[in-house]
Amino acid sequence: MEELIGFVASDHKASKILAVLDSKGEMDSRTIAKTLRIVGVDKTLEELMSRELIANSGGKSALTELGKQVSHKLRGV
């Protein structure tokens, strides 16, 4: 868990993506990019999926239980 927290904390895009998915729920990559005003979202989403922090279903990404835990730890909740 600490390794995942460190990864997300050091990756600005990853931390913003986790935060927006935590607050707004599942979204497709285009909506995430527009909401956060960042480019290169797909690569970051793939990295988060490989670390099992998010899951993709029907073209939409959502936090896994592990992703929620990491996001809450980063926000100090």
H helix intervals, the chain: 2-10, 12-24, 29-36, 41-50, 65-75
What is the structure's pLDDT at 75?
87
Backbone dihedral angles phi then psi of residue 48, each to the nearest 5 degrees = -65, -35
Query: Is 74 a residue whose pLDDT tops 60?
Result: yes
Task: Give percent of the chain with pLDDT exceeding 90.
Answer: 94
Query: Is 65 a residue whose pLDDT tops 90?
Result: yes
Residue-range domains of the chain with CATH: 2-75 (1.10.10.10)
What is the structure's pLDDT at 7?
95
